[in-house]
Chain A
Amino acid sequence: DTGVSQDPRHKITKRGQNVTFRCDPISEHNRLYWYRQTLGQGPEFLTYFQNEAQLEKSRLLSDRFSAERPKGSFSTLEIQRTEQGDSAMYLCASSPVQTGKGEQFFGPGTRLTVL
């Protein structure tokens, strides 16, 4: 399967703990995105990479969130000192570089539950 993969699929943690999620994009895709989605809402943009460069980060994103894409391939999203409000589905997507196009390929997501 050459689609976007995410690991883990589910994560349960206690408030105050740190968590890290991994995303493996489609191999030839330069662009990688992270989103957060809560029940009944559409995905909320968190951050965007082109190759290894983090080009955009949502102003809504707390300093507790950090993302990396060290070699322009896989990416990690870390949440420090988790809070119950961080409970959500975290989605990763990738896309090739195509100006003016909006097609993104999404992974299955990581569902985070903070107790």
Chain B
Amino acid sequence: LAKTTQPISMDSYEGQEVNITCSHNNIATNDYITWYQQFPSQGPRFIIQGYKTKVTNEVASLFIPADRKSSTLSLPRVSLSDTAVYYCLVGGSNYQLIWGAGTKLIIKP
């Protein structure tokens, strides 16, 4: 099971673009990269998932370089409500994902 490394915390300001990078040097060929968001006292919420190159949805973009040893979650024009913990996970099946401590993102006015 591939482990991930991401910054413990990050600060930014409203309206800015925030990029959170995750390293996963031991990612396997069939592993996907998935990002979750978690607010206090709530369960995690799926944000985005990708395998390679770039994926974009209505809330975020995910950039994955060719070697897939890292990935970057990009949140455009953040607001105060984006303050949360963001988790990066890699896995090839739907269970036994290893969750790290995540990145605590604080958005300031």
Chain A positions near chain B (C-beta within 8 angstroms): 4, 31, 33, 35, 40-45, 48, 55-56, 89, 91, 93, 95, 97-109, 111
Q: Which of B45, B49, B87, B93 contacts A42 (CB 8 A)?
A: B87
Between-chain CB contacts (< 8 Å), 8 pairs: A35-B99, A42-B87, A42-B102, A55-B95, A56-B95, A89-B41, A102-B49, A102-B97
Indicate if the CB atoms of B32 and A100 lie closer than 8 Å: yes
Contacts of B44 in A (CB 8 A): 43, 91, 104, 106
Contacts of B41 in A (CB 8 A): 89, 108-109, 111
Among all A-B residue pairs, the 8 with the closest Cβ atoms: A106-B43, A42-B99, A102-B34, A48-B95, A103-B46, A43-B99, A106-B44, A102-B91
Chain B positions near chain A (C-beta within 8 angstroms): 30, 32, 34, 41-46, 49, 87, 89, 91-102
CA distance A95 to B87 in the complex (A): 18
CA distance A107 to B42 in the complex (A): 8
Indicate if the CB atoms of A31 and B95 lie closer than 8 Å: yes
CA distance A61 to B96 in the complex (A): 13
User: B3 to nearest A CB, angstroms?
Assistant: 11
User: B8 to nearest A CB, angstroms?
Assistant: 10
Give the most central of A48, A55, A101, A105: most B CB within 10 Å: A101
Q: Which of B30, B43, B101 contacts A100 (CB 8 A)?
A: B30
Indicate if the CB atoms of A101 and B94 lie closer than 8 Å: yes
Q: Which of A41, A45, A111 contacts B96 (CB 8 A)?
A: A45
Indicate if the CB atoms of B34 and A103 lie closer than 8 Å: yes
Q: Which of A31, A44, A48, A108 contacts B42 (CB 8 A)?
A: A108
